[in-house]
Amino acid sequence: MEAGAIFFQQLINGISLGSIYALIALGYTMVYGIVMLINFAHGDVLMVGAYTGYFVLTALGVSPWSLTLAFVIAMTVCGGLGMCIERFAYRPLRSAPRLNSLITAIAVSLILQNGARVLRFIGPNPRQFPRPPIGTVNLGNFSISNIQIIVIILSAALMLALNYIISYTKRGKAMRAVSYDMQAASLMGIPVNGTISFTFALGSVLAAAGGILFACAYPQISPTMGTMPGLKAFVAAVLGGIGSVPGAMLGGFILGIAETMTKGYLSSQYADAISFSVLIIILLVKPTGILGKKMRVKV
């Protein structure tokens, strides 16, 4: 394979992986933009979505209709889970120091992981995810698989849907108002608690979709499967500018492309190190991230 073909092949792989990172990163950045909280349980919501999809596809078999149903059910389950986590874990600590919420987020992550491990119908052992049969479309000297096509198209559709919700709907305008000034939004009659709960649900819905797409691309699921994708999605959110929705998308694609290029040209052993090195370099050059804005803190 020619050097140019290898490059484009790795670029397609990077865009596919970056699409998943971007979906997951959007949940981090939306929650942080509104309540200034790093929801470290977000990666484990991804795991719940992947297992929900697994049970649906195992029961119904793999087909376009069952895959669609798996996405719908997983998004519904994770949306409800996200709202429950916000209501019972984070809302009582909203006026507490941020460290309390951060520790609670880590605790929720551990509860979801270990809770899944002890459940009889999940268990600690990895499982093979039932994904569609792999087919490839040849584009000259390089190819793209049907899984990558599904990942890229569905991720793009969800990102466009999210952009529409945030920019043009009443709920989206309420989210932007609460992120700008929570107290002023409350005084103007915006239901702050409902808006924050909706934000958690929306982020969890995207995490569920990301979980199924990640399981289709890497078809092995386990209770701890959300840890590394969640961490890398957090890196992507910080890389693009935490709190910035376009920044989360951009950071996800940059991280995915950097990781696959490292695997293609260097070694897969260096992929994680290079990914986190990119973050360190960006933060040294521009601490707010690529699209982040400086914030003044009054003392």
Residues 240/25, Cβ–Cβ less than 8 Å: yes
Per DSSP, the three-state class of 51 is helix
Distance of CA 151 to the CA centre of its chain: 13
pLDDT for 6: 81
For residues 242 and 248, what is the distance between their CA atoms, to the nearest angstrom? 7
Give tens-digit pLDDT for 15-46. Answer: 999 999 999 999 999 999 898 888 999 999 99
pTM of the predicted model as reported, rounded to 2 decimal places: 0.92
What 8-state DSSP symbol labels residue 93?
G
Give tens-digit pLDDT for 151-183. Answer: 999 999 999 999 999 999 999 999 999 998 999
Domain definitions of the chain by residue range: 24-225
pLDDT for 153: 94
* Cα–Cα distance list, 267 to 25, 59, 176, 272 (Å): 25, 38, 42, 10
Residues 132/216, Cβ–Cβ less than 8 Å: yes
pLDDT for 295: 53
Start-end of H helices in the chain: 3-35, 42-60, 64-85, 98-118, 146-168, 170-180, 182-187, 192-217, 227-240, 245-265, 271-285
